Amino acid sequence: MALLFVGKDPESGDHGSPAVWVDQETKDLVIQGWTADDQTTGESSQDVSIPGHESVIRVPKRMVPLLREALRVAESD
């Protein structure tokens, strides 16, 4: 696996989260975010069950440009 770092939350300073990568082989997005609170997890699980090997994360709106860039990279050949 070869991850291409796209960027991290511009307001996180020297802290490590949230961040976005693209797996250069599979073009999967890899996202580090805040662990969602119980209310968010509970509400989201009403639409889709959350198996034990998955989790709900929250990514701040200010990272939308980084997600767009990650999608652009993932869609390029």
Supply the range of the domain harboring residue 50. 3-75
Residue 1 reports pLDDT greater than 90: no
Tokens coding 12: 């996180």
Sign of CA dihedral 72, 33, 27, 7: positive
**pTM score:** 0.85
Residue 15 reports pLDDT greater than 90: no
Q: How many domains does the chain have?
A: 1
Question: What is d(CA 62, CA 69) in angstroms, rounded to the nearest whole number?
Answer: 13
Q: What is the pLDDT of residues 19-66, one digit of tens each?
A: 999 999 999 999 999 999 999 999 999 999 999 999 999 999 999 999
